Amino acid sequence: MLFRELKNLLKQLIDETSCPHCEGGYSEEDIVIIGSLKDEVYLHVGCKNCDAHILVNAVINRVKGNRVHKGLKIRNLGKNISPITTNEVIEIHQFLEEFNGDFKTLFSV
């Protein structure tokens, strides 16, 4: 991703989106670039109004004919998810203590 494209993406994110929790606006200081790969960038965005944190995955489509989306929307994928409980934290801790790193076996159920 070119720097110019990244700056345009950040400007569009700031201009066209708001916090999915309180609808507060964002500024450049609220956005942290986690990483990028080719035409994809991962961002961490924090809301200074309500302290909500979101992860953004954006892809730049270099084929102009495929750029039909003109506006950005942040979908709150976790809106209907209940808060993490203490028992869930304990369970994942216990799982990770015993996990040997074999994802192939883990997901071959």
Ordered by start, the domain boundaries in the chain are 3-79
Q: How far apart are CA 61 and CA 40, in angstroms?
A: 9
**E strands along the chain, which residues?**
31-37, 40-46, 53-59
Predicted confidence at residue 9, as pLDDT, reads 85
Q: Are 1 and 40 in contact (CB under 8 A)?
A: yes
Instruction: Please write the tens of the pLDDT for every residue from 4-46.
Output: 788 888 888 888 888 888 889 999 999 999 988 878 889 999 9
Please state whether the predicted TM-score (pTM) of the whole model is above 0.75.
no
Across 8-28, b (16+ Cβ under 10 Å) vs e yields: ebbeebbeebebbbeeeebee
Percent of the chain with pLDDT over 70: 79
